[in-house]
Amino acid sequence: MSSLRKLFPAVLALVCGTAGCRIDMHVQPYNRTMSKSDFFADGRSARLPVEGTVARGDLREDAYFYTGKVGAGDGDYLPFEVTEKVLTRGRERFDIFCAPCHGRVGDGNGFIPTRGLRRPPSYHIERLRKVPTGYFFDVMTNGFGIMPDYSSQIPPRDRWAIAAYIRALQLSQGATSADIPAGQKVPSPAPEFRDIGTGASLPEVKPPGKEASGENKEEPK
Ligand code: HEC
Give distance in angstroms: CA of 158 to centre of ligand 1.
16
Give distance in angstroms: CA of 127 to centre of ligand 1.
14
Determine if ligand 1 sits within 6 Å of the CB of residue 106. no
74-175: CATH topology is Cytochrome Bc1 Complex; Chain D, domain 2 (1.10.760)
Q: Give the atom of ligand 1 at the shortest distance from the alpha carbon of 98.
A: 37
Ligand 1 pocket: which of 74, 89, 97, 98 to mutate (most atoms <8 Å of CB)?
Answer: 98
Whole-angstrom distance, CA of residue 214 vs CA of residue 119: 31
Nearest CA to ligand 1 atom 41: 98
Nearest CA to ligand 1 atom 18: 145
Helices (H), 174-220: none
Determine if ligand 1 sits within 6 Å of the CB of residue 161. no
C-alpha distances (whole Å) from 89 to each of 59, 95, 165, 169, 179 are 24, 10, 9, 14, 24
* Burial label, 139 (beta-carbon count in 10 A; 0-12, 13-18, 19+): buried
pLDDT digits (tens, 9 = 90+) for 198-213: 655 666 666 666 554 4
If we measure between CA atoms, which residue out of 135, 160, 4, 154 comes closest to residue 81?
A: 160
If we measure between CA atoms, which residue out of 84, 173, 78 comes closest to residue 123?
A: 173
Give this prediction's pTM: 0.72
Write down the domain spans for the chain.
Answer: 74-175
Other CB atoms within 10 Å distance of the CB of residue 193: 13
Backbone φ and ψ for 44, nearest 5 degrees, come out as -105, 140
pLDDT digits (tens, 9 = 90+) for 176-189: 878 888 887 766 66
Determine if ligand 1 sits within 6 Å of the CB of residue 89. no
Determine if ligand 1 sits within 6 Å of the CB of residue 103. no
Determine if ligand 1 sits within 6 Å of the CB of residue 137. no
Q: What is the pLDDT along the chain (221 residues), one digit of tens a residue?
A: 456 577 777 765 665 556 555 677 778 888 888 899 998 999 999 988 899 899 898 888 999 999 999 999 999 999 999 999 999 999 999 999 999 999 999 999 999 998 889 999 999 999 999 999 999 999 999 999 999 999 999 999 999 999 999 999 999 888 887 888 888 776 666 666 666 556 556 666 666 665 544 444 444 44
Q: Is the dihedral of CA 14, 15, 19, 21 positive or negative?
A: negative
Q: Are 120 and 148 in contact (CB under 8 A)?
A: no
